[in-house]
Amino acid sequence: MSDRIRAVKGTRVLLPDEAERWAEVEAVARRVFGSYGFGEIRTPILEHTELFVRGVGESTDIVGKEMYSFTDRKGRQLSLRPEGTAPVVRALVEAGIGSWPLPQRFYYVGPYFRYEKPQKGRYRQFHQIGAEIVGDEGPLTDAELITMLMRFLGELGHADLEVLINTVGDVESRAAFRAALTAYLEPRREALSADSRRRLKTNPLRILDSKAERDAEVLDGAPRLEEHLSAASRAHFEAVVAALEAQGVAVSRRDSLVRGLDYYTRTVFEIVSAELGAQDSLVGGGRYDDLVAELGGPQIPAIGFAIGQDRLIETLPDDSPLGRDSGVDAMVVPIGEGSGTEALRLAEELRSAGLRILLDSPERGVGKSLKHADRCGIEWVILLGEDEIARREATLKELTGGEQVTVPRSELAGRLASAVDAASGVKERS
Task: Please tell me whether residue 61 binds ligand HAM under the rule CB under 6 A.
Answer: no
Complex with ligand HAM: residue 312 or 333, whichever CB lies closer: 312
Task: Please tell me whether residue 109 binds ligand HAM under the rule CB under 6 A.
Answer: no
Amino acid letter, 258:
V
Residues 405-424 that bind ligand HAM (CB under 6 A): none
Residues 184-223 that bind ligand HAM (CB under 6 A): none
Q: How far is the CB of 198 from ligand HAM (least distance, A)?
A: 20
Q: How far is the CB of 322 from ligand HAM (least distance, A)?
A: 19
The packing angle between helices 139-155 and 16-34, to 10°, is 140
Of the candidates 398, 394, 397, the one whose C-alpha atom is nearest the C-alpha of residue 410 is: 394
Complex with ligand HAM: residue 126 or 177, whichever CB lies closer: 126
Task: Please tell me whether residue 284 binds ligand HAM under the rule CB under 6 A.
Answer: yes
CA 175 to chain centre: 33
CA–CA distance, 249 with 143 (Å, rounded to integer): 9
Complex with ligand HAM: residue 313 or 335, whichever CB lies closer: 313
CA–CA distance, 113 with 418 (Å, rounded to integer): 46
Among 233, 305, 315, 380, binds ligand HAM (CB under 6 A): 305
CA 182 to chain centre: 36
Would you say 115 and 79 are in contact if contact means Cβ atoms under 8 Å apart? no
Task: Please tell me whether residue 103 binds ligand HAM under the rule CB under 6 A.
Answer: no
Q: How far is the CB of 396 from ligand HAM (least distance, A)?
A: 45
Alpha helices in 14-138 (DSSP H): 16-34, 49-52, 61-65, 85-95
Q: Which of these segments, 29-37, 116-124, 319-327, 362-370, binds ligand HAM (CB under 6 A)?
A: 116-124
Complex with ligand HAM: residue 285 or 362, whichever CB lies closer: 285
Complex with ligand HAM: residue 207 or 378, whichever CB lies closer: 207
Burial of 354 (0-12, 13-18, 19+ CB in 10 A): exposed
Spatial strand order of the sheet with 46-48 comes to: 46-48, 77-80, 69-71
**How many residues belong to the site for ligand HAM (CB under 6 A)?**
23
Give the 3-state secondary structure percentages of the chain, helix then strand then coil, rounded to 5. 45, 20, 35
Q: How far is the CB of 294 from ligand HAM (least distance, A)?
A: 14
Q: How far is the CB of 307 from ligand HAM (least distance, A)?
A: 6
Task: Please tell me whether residue 306 binds ligand HAM under the rule CB under 6 A.
Answer: yes
Of the candidates 364, 402, 370, the one whose C-alpha atom is nearest the C-alpha of residue 383 is: 370
Complex with ligand HAM: residue 303 or 331, whichever CB lies closer: 303
Among 185, 205, 208, 282, binds ligand HAM (CB under 6 A): 282
Alpha helices in 35-84 (DSSP H): 49-52, 61-65
Complex with ligand HAM: residue 12 or 198, whichever CB lies closer: 12
Task: Please tell me whether residue 144 binds ligand HAM under the rule CB under 6 A.
Answer: no
Element (H, E) at 69: strand 69-71
What would you report as the CA-atom Rg of the chain, rounded to the nearest whole angstrom? Answer: 28
Long-range CB contacts (within 8 A, 24+) of 182-190: 184/221, 184/222, 184/223, 185/218, 185/222, 188/218
Complex with ligand HAM: residue 38 or 305, whichever CB lies closer: 305
Q: How far is the CB of 300 from ligand HAM (least distance, A)?
A: 14
Q: Which of these segments, 170-178, 193-201, 222-230, 275-283, binds ligand HAM (CB under 6 A)?
A: 275-283
Task: Please tell me whether residue 283 binds ligand HAM under the rule CB under 6 A.
Answer: yes
Complex with ligand HAM: residue 158 or 311, whichever CB lies closer: 311
CA–CA distance, 320 with 308 (Å, rounded to integer): 17
Q: Which of these segments, 34-42, 47-55, 215-223, 282-290, binds ligand HAM (CB under 6 A)?
A: 282-290
Long-range CB contacts (within 8 A, 24+) of 398-405: 399/370, 399/373, 399/374
Residues 285-304 that bind ligand HAM (CB under 6 A): 285-286, 304
Task: Please tell me whether residue 128 binds ligand HAM under the rule CB under 6 A.
Answer: yes
Task: Please tell me whether residue 139 binds ligand HAM under the rule CB under 6 A.
Answer: no
Of the candidates 279, 270, 25, 34, the one whose C-alpha atom is nearest the C-alpha of residue 153 is: 25
**Residues engaged in binding ligand HAM (CB under 6 A):** 83-85, 114, 116, 122-123, 126, 128, 130, 132, 281-286, 304-306, 308, 310-311
